[in-house]
Amino acid sequence: MSLWDAMGLANKRVLILHHDDLGVTHAQNQAYLSLKRPSGSVMAPSVWATGLVGIAGADLGVHVTLTSEWAAPKLRPISTAPSLRDSAGFFWPTLNQAWGHIDANEAAIEIGAQIEAVRRMGIEPTHLDAHMGVVFRPDIAARFVALATELGMPVAAASNLDELPVPEEFKSLLTDIRERADLPQIEIIDSYEAPATRRREWYVDRLSRLGPGVYHVLHHAQKDTEEGRQLGDWEKRLADLQALSDPVVMTVLDEFVPLTYAEIGYAMRHYGEG
């Protein structure tokens, strides 16, 4: 019997609405609070990560961060691992640069350091995921999954790897890691590539067409503030907030059975994995 069967979710439309990049700006945190949807993940190296301490009912994970893509804010590793740093001491700015330089063992050390940093903030993480898919390099993925398994934390294991921007040579190796770890399968849906001007329509159309299954719909909603506009993609983030606050989109979201990673973790401990 699968985990979803054990949880009574078979043949249902199930949704984890997941707020990525929490902590990167105060504007991002404020959007999370205003939407009142529990699931999201925290970028431990970010200056505003501590702004999420003490939120009741939160379903917060660690958004494993091994890149620093923005001109501001720039992010540094928590650990001293040298392979994670560019010449200025920050994380590598692009995914390809990160994959070209990072030592997998040092990545595992940094991931552990980020988990402990979130715990020191008074947040007990319910799950792990990763910024920019940086853990999709198979040797990093193996350590990421092993650490999550050791800690008893669920990860967002994509059932739809073929649809994600992952190098072809990685896909079979990642599928093997996913299956050997017997991870619960979740379809990942990312709003990011949808045009900001049509984000509302994208949510209504994309979600309305989904059949039975368990879906992790990720977004990057943030408030429109001067501080938030330091991110180059702020318009897309604002569009997520506006769309997810829209009554029509909210009605579509409410047609799904809501799910949290805390509930998945509980079920994994009591019913077995995957």
Q: Where are the domains of the chain?
A: 3-271
CB 158 within 8 A of CB 177: no
Q: The domain 3-271 is classified under which CATH number: 3.30.429.10, 3.30.1180.20, 3.20.20.370, 2.60.120.650? A: 3.20.20.370
List active site positions: 20, 220
The mean per-residue pLDDT over the stretch 227-254 comes to: 97
Q: How confident is the model at residue 249 (pLDDT cuts 50, 70, 90)?
A: very high
- Check whether 245 has a pLDDT greater than 50: yes
Q: How confident is the model at residue 274 (pLDDT cuts 50, 70, 90)?
A: very low
Quick: pLDDT tens for 129-183: 999 999 999 999 999 999 999 999 999 889 999 999 899 999 999 999 988 888 8
pLDDT at position 156, please?
A: 81
pLDDT at position 272, please?
A: 64
The pTM (predicted TM-score) of the whole model is 0.95
The mean per-residue pLDDT over the stretch 73-91 comes to: 97
